[in-house]
Amino acid sequence: MSESSTRAETAAALLERSLSRGRLAHAYLFLGDDIDVLEDAAGRLAQTLNCAQPLRRGETGIPLEPCGTCNPCQRITHRNHPDVSWVRPEMKSRVISVDQVRSVIDRVNLRSSESAYKVAVFSSADRMNTFAANAFLKTLEEPPAGSVLILLSTEADRIPDTLLSRCQRLSFASGTVKVDETVAEWVGQFAALAEPASPPLSGRYQLLGSLLTSLGSMKESIEEQLTAVSPLTRHADAEAKQRERWEEELTAAIEAEYRRRRSQYAAGLAAWLRDVWMQTLGGPVDLAFLPQLAPATSRVASRLTPVEARANLDSWETTQRLLHTNAQESLVFEVGLLNLKL
């Protein structure tokens, strides 16, 4: 049995256990490598909750296994059930827009037509733009009774933390690490610096400088992109209060998107540090995102003990947590890089 199949079965088992104990979450995040697999899992959950003739029920009476053949199950399969909404990125923009989110919110807040649960599935939720995510947040925090929200993603690092923290996560993924090309390049530079037996301290400051420069350029790009789609650019004659609200929303959107992309750099280095640690233990490593790092990973691991390698990983995890606070960004990265024992 493949690792991905095992993970899918484990996720399904965890979900069934929650249902059997009456612990249905109001919001789920299904993570995986294949969006079709995630959509199938979401569809099955929607069928389970609304099946007219479930094959099994749990201790609390909640269905555990749909029949797959009743009218509700069939309509959910064909994506035309009135109480199950499916949201996908728009064809042209390839994003989930704020209008799509508001439309689904309106439907979820309506009384159920015929089913026990209203279900909304957001396929490729990582394509939800920042304005849409902000509009969705209140509903995610206080969903209507009898509703279940399901977010599907193959790139969870693109989903704002404000949404991630409010969902119960289930992984259908194979476990392979994927990072952006720019991030992978920076991690590669760091690994190359760490490879010599006595890596120079000045090199870390060079990496810090290149990282901060990249982040600065990235923030400027985000500001340009989000300003271009903001209502501020389309409604110059709007009332002052309305413009002030839009300006606040734009500022918040820019900061949220910047923090999300910035976290990818920290996550990429964490993945490599984990590989170093695993290699000190003689375990498997995941170099799929940058296989050319294998020699550097081996050399660094060869001179570290498992305790030292694990301490590096723990130290960098602290850096990742600090990035979510109001601590000064450059100082957090500087201290984090200098604390690593390589």
Give me the pLDDT at residue 2, please.
41
Tens digits of residue pLDDT in 37-96: 899 999 999 998 899 888 877 766 777 888 999 999 999 999 999 999 999 987 666 789
Structural domain includes residue 176: no
CB 133 within 8 A of CB 163: yes
Which string of DSSP letters, residue by residue, matches 177-210? ----HHHHHHHHHHHHHHSSSS--HHHHHHHHHH
Structural domain includes residue 202: yes
Tens digits of residue pLDDT in 205-256: 888 888 898 889 889 988 998 888 888 887 878 888 888 888 887 887 788 7
Give me the pLDDT at residue 16, please.
78
- Is the pLDDT assigned to residue 174 strictly greater than 60? no
pTM: 0.55
Reduced to 3 states (helix: H, G, I; strand: E, B; else coil), residue 151 is strand
Give me the pLDDT at residue 175, please.
53
Residues 210 and 292 grouped into a single domain = yes
Tens digits of residue pLDDT in 116-167: 889 999 999 988 888 899 899 989 988 888 899 999 998 777 788 888 888 8
Mean pLDDT throughout 16-22? Answer: 77
Closest CA to 179 of 294, 293, 265: 265
Residues 166 and 225 grouped into a single domain = no
With 0-12 / 13-18 / 19 or more C-beta atoms within 10 angstroms meaning exposed / middle / buried, residue 73 is buried
Task: Report residue 286's pLDDT band, with 50, 70 and 90 as the boundaries.
Answer: low
Mean pLDDT throughout 185-214? Answer: 82
Residues 214 and 70 grouped into a single domain = no
**Domain boundary residue among 146, 171, 196?**
171
Residues 138 and 192 grouped into a single domain = no
How many domains, in total, are found in the chain? 2
Give me the pLDDT at residue 250, please.
83
Residues 281 and 141 grouped into a single domain = no
Give me the pLDDT at residue 93, please.
64
Distances (CA, A) of 191 to 156, 298, 332: 25, 11, 20
Structural domain includes residue 233: yes
Structural domain includes residue 63: yes
Give me the pLDDT at residue 288, please.
52
Residues 102 and 235 grouped into a single domain = no
Residues 87 and 210 grouped into a single domain = no
Q: Would you state the structure tokens that stand for residue 70, as one six-digit string?
A: 């009743």
Residues 26 and 132 grouped into a single domain = yes
**Domain boundary residue among 142, 171, 200?**
171
Q: Which residues pair with 152 in a beta bridge?
A: 30
Residues 123 and 251 grouped into a single domain = no
Q: What is the CATH number of the domain that holds 161?
A: 3.40.50.300
Residues 11 and 150 grouped into a single domain = yes
Q: What's CA 44's distance to the chain center, in Å?
A: 22
Residues 326 and 196 grouped into a single domain = yes
Mean pLDDT throughout 21-46? Answer: 87
Longest CA pairwise span in the chain (Å): 69
Mean pLDDT throughout 259-285? Answer: 82
List of residues 6+ apart from 324 with CB closer than 8 A? 161, 259
DSSP state of 86: E
**Domain boundary residue among 171, 201, 222?**
171
Residues 276 and 315 grouped into a single domain = yes
Tens digits of residue pLDDT in 316-326: 888 888 887 77
Domain span holding position 199: 181-339
CB 115 within 8 A of CB 83: yes
Strand 147-153 and strand 63-65: the pairing is unpaired
Give me the pLDDT at residue 308, please.
92
Mean pLDDT throughout 184-201? Answer: 81
d(CA 334, CA 314): 16
d(CA 42, CA 21): 19
Give me the pLDDT at residue 201, please.
77
Tens digits of residue pLDDT in 212-224: 988 898 899 889 9
